[in-house]
Amino acid sequence: MKILVSLVSLIAFLLVALPGPLYKFGILDLGTAFTGFKFGVFAGIAALVLLGIQVLFKRDTVRLSSALTAVILSAIAIIIPLSMMNTAQSVPPIHDISTDLINPPEFVAIAPLRADAPNPAAYDGIETAEQQRDAYPELQTLTYTQPKSELMEATEKAVDNLGWELVNNDASVGIIEATDTTTWFGFKDDVVIRVTDKGSERLVDIRSKSRVGGSDLGKNAERIRTFIEELNVVLGK
């Protein structure tokens, strides 16, 4: 029984831990990877049930170290997928976020890189804008007094600090484009930052969009917030 509990808990853990890297390196498709999550939850629950049976009926075979390991592996297998499901239910099912919902910054140099992506480079439209407005009302155009050249330099520095891949820096039109690759699944999400003059002020807008997936689990909004914080740090605000 002890071996069975350990084996099932390990399988549960692997069903949750491995799909990300396997998808990242092109071994699994995304649907199969997420199916692994589902079976990981089932296997995790099964491991805990088996452990309970072992404790009740074969207590003399229970070892604290192996039991604790089984609980930890099973808990990870159960908690991570359920946490993702909970997050998905708490955010709108969108993947294109912008601080300017009327005239979102457009992808230029990145557009060809998204040619084969399930999610096109074009903005997703009014329905997405309405859902974003309800879910993330704090994401709005930023206003700065620094010169445009200084903001462009600070933006590039912030992009570098965050570990994003710089794709385009066009100071003539005030556009910087970059790609952020997530660690676990290797999802590529694209970002475009636009700096424009408005009298004595400068307006900064950020747009972040996933290449794949219907819901981003709030990742693009989080990315924009992180960028804003980093930009302000670079500017000494």
Note the pLDDT tens digit of each residue in 151-198: 999 999 999 999 999 999 999 999 999 999 999 999 999 999 999 999
Q: 90, 110, 143: which is the final residue of a domain?
A: 90
Q: 90, 105, 122: which is the final residue of a domain?
A: 90
* Rounded-to-integer distance, Cα 183 and Cα 192, Å: 20
Assess whether pLDDT exceeds 80 at residue 237.
no
Question: Which amino acid makes up residue 50?
Answer: L
* Rounded-to-integer distance, Cα 5 and Cα 45, Å: 11
Q: Mean pLDDT across the stretch 31-44? A: 96
Q: Measured in whole angstroms, how far is the alpha carbon of residue 91 from the centre of its chain?
A: 13
Q: Are residues 148 and 196 in the same domain?
A: yes
Q: Are residues 107 and 163 in the same domain?
A: yes
Q: What domain count does the chain have?
A: 2
pLDDT of residue 190: 98
pLDDT digits (tens, 9 = 90+) for 144-162: 999 999 999 999 999 999 9
Q: Are residues 74 and 185 in the same domain?
A: no
Q: Are residues 111 and 226 in the same domain?
A: yes
Domain that holds residue 14: 2-90
pLDDT of residue 3: 87
Q: Are residues 45 and 133 in the same domain?
A: no
Q: 58, 90, 122: which is the final residue of a domain?
A: 90
Q: Are residues 56 and 133 in the same domain?
A: no
Q: Mean pLDDT across the stretch 62-90? A: 95
Q: Are residues 101 and 204 in the same domain?
A: yes
* Residue 129, phi then psi, degrees to nearest 5: -60, -40
Question: Do residues 159 and 166 touch, judged by C-beta distance below 8 A?
Answer: yes
Q: Are residues 160 and 199 in the same domain?
A: yes
Other beta carbons within 10 angstroms of residue 125's beta carbon come to 10
DSSP label of 231: H
* Rounded-to-integer distance, Cα 51 and Cα 48, Å: 5
Q: Are residues 142 and 217 in the same domain?
A: yes
Question: Which amino acid makes up residue 135?
Answer: A
Question: Do residues 107 and 177 touch, judged by C-beta distance below 8 A?
Answer: yes
